[in-house]
Amino acid sequence: MNAPIGVIDSGVGGLTVAKAIMELLPNETIYYIGDTARCPYGPRSKQEVRTYTWQMAKALEKMNVKMLVIACNTATAVALESLQKHMPFPVLGVINAGARAAVKKTKRNEVVVLATEGTIKSGAYEQALLSLNTKAKIIPLACPTFVPLVESGEYEGKFSYDLVETGLMPLQEERFDTVILGCTHYPILQKQIEAAVGPNVHVLSSAEETAKDVEAILQYNGQLRTDEEKPKHVFHASGSVPIFRSICERWLNQEELDIRRITF
């Protein structure tokens, strides 16, 4: 029960989920892997994303995690089922949580899903949303420029607002009251996305709902951490550690994080 929770993503996006877990469960330890060397996953084939996701899951299995959160929608869409079948601990994705957050909020049942090309092509959000609300009208939009912007670390300033506005142009003629950030990188651009869609639209991520799922699973399994010592989180990146560190420290508002290089 004092083992860490594993959290994986193609890069820094999963930090948005890790942060929500840290806020809801401050006593839990997180071991994070960001596959920054091979990010973005969005344009990659299903097979590639599945292989990379399995490599991260296996690395965390060796580190003795008690559960795994696939904090990446693209990876959830292609690898959740197989990992749930074969890993010796609970494995959670982020797509059902994102769909649930949207269904709770939408009044008009008009929901935009912003995500990577891989997630949009998989149809996983449509499936999750329609299983919760058969009346939902879903407007999917892939935003391939957003992840490289976030991973560059240069996601503040006017340029980022312009880039997001351009990416969201196809929504101009659409009617909707809710936007799901169906890629875990996108909450880092929440301000820019809110500015582009205007004030009457709810912009939601899956992070908080996922953290609630983590709590429920650990509670149910009697696996919440009981150790009173402060948790020591460990972050791994397969690419450049300095850029990863700067984004991690800014986003989590913490300094001197334990960040290590990982190779696959």
Please confirm, yes or no, whether 72 is among the known catalytic residues: yes
Helical spans, DSSP H, in 63-181: 73-86, 95-105, 117-122, 124-132, 146-152, 158-167
H or E element in which residue 252 lies:
helix 241-252
Site string for ligand DGL, 33-62 (x = CB under 6 A): ------xxxx--------------------
Q: Which stretch binds ligand DGL (CB under 6 A): 7-15, 102-110, 126-134, 156-164?
A: 7-15
Q: How many CB atoms lie within 10 A of CB 96?
A: 22
Residue pair 210/94 in contact by the 8 Å Cβ criterion: yes
For 6, list phi and psi in degrees, rounded to 5.
-85, 135
Please confirm, yes or no, whether 183 is among the known catalytic residues: yes
What is the rounded distance in angstroms from the CA atom of residue 84 to the CA atom of residue 260?
A: 27
Of the residues 39, 143, 183, 248, only one is catalytic, namely 183
Q: Which stretch binds ligand DGL (CB under 6 A): 61-69, 71-79, 100-108, 248-256?
A: 71-79
The single residue among 19, 66, 100, 185 that binds ligand DGL, judged by CB under 6 A, is 185
Task: For residue 23, give both structure tokens.
Answer: 């806020």
Is the Cβ of residue 55 or residue 223 nearer to ligand DGL in the bound state? Answer: 55
Binding of ligand DGL by 72 (CB under 6 A): yes
Site string for ligand DGL, 105-124 (x = CB under 6 A): -----------x--x-----
Binding of ligand DGL by 29 (CB under 6 A): no
127 torsion bin: left (phi>0), alpha (psi -120 to 50), beta (else):
alpha
H or E element in which residue 190 lies:
helix 190-197
Of the residues 39, 72, 143, 248, only one is catalytic, namely 72
Binding of ligand DGL by 96 (CB under 6 A): no
Show which residues are catalytic.
72, 183
- The residues that touch ligand DGL, with contacts defined as CB under 6 A, are 9-11, 13, 39-42, 72-74, 116, 119, 147, 183-185
